[in-house]
Structure 1
Amino acid sequence: MPFTPDQIILRRYVRASRYTFVRPMRVVSDDDRGLLLWMPAGSEFAALSDADGRSPHDLPLDEMRQPHLAPKVWRDHDILVLMSPDAWHSTWWFFGKGGFIGWYVNLETPFTRHDGAVDTTDLVLDVWVEPDRGWEWKDEDEMAARTGHPWYFDSAMAEKIRAEGVRLIRLAETGAFPFDGTHLDFRPDPTWRPSTLPAGWDEEQPKARTAGT
């Protein structure tokens, strides 16, 4: 069943048997093009960190000491996120006080729907696309460090992840959707306030999941 516009749902990252990110986001639309979500600066979210303050960007999940989800506040930018059906990525539009800043291509597994939530597994490698459609890879060092780890992906899957990034880069270079100007003039409903983590957000445990599932 599609989600309802204006509904707050949780967008969650899953790694093995843990959530690594939980973001409450507002549904803009949910149709054949995909699930479109909004989260303004000032919203609450939760991110995994360990007893030493390190994140999954710093070291693999199984090497983190006493990992736990810590509530935080999303700073600086408003984001519009499109999760297309069966896609191995999501596209983020970043907005600041001066308007549109750029696109972020987050490589991730196709999402699954749950009651009031969507789950996906982050695939580490990402692409930043400037308004002029110049681009750069993000987190390549982390991708190389995680390749071959049993909780992440093998070299064959890593090649597929990069290929998906290359495919989106080609779309950006040619100005094809989603880099064709769609949503650049997006304005949220003025009544929409920063979202907060709902009661019980940390009570559910995910099922084990890897990049290939």
Structure 2
Amino acid sequence: MPDGRGMGEVPLPEWSASDRVPARHTIDHGVLSWHPRGRDYSIRWFFRPDGDFFRWYANLEAPPPFDGTWRDFRPDPSWAALPRELPHGWDRVET
């Protein structure tokens, strides 16, 4: 963002309509990221350190319509309580 905020610090409607400025970010691969102004998507092209293209990613987002009517939502008291512990295997790595 022109004011120095990162993408995660800006509401989507504001982010979608804002100007884009180059920003330095360190990663272990090359990436070209395109964020068209006024659109709620971005496309990223990833490159290996030798410059070879190896994948792309499209991020599709639609601003959620929010009319303020759900601010006082409370779950039904008859619903089961959330478990206190995470289930076994929640952090497993798929290979």
Query: Structure 1 length as normaliser, TM-score?
Result: 0.21
Name which one, 1 or 2, has greater alpha-carbon Rg.
2
Task: Name the one with the larger helix percent.
Answer: 1
Task: Name the one with the larger strand percent.
Answer: 1
Query: Structure 2 length as normaliser, TM-score?
Result: 0.40
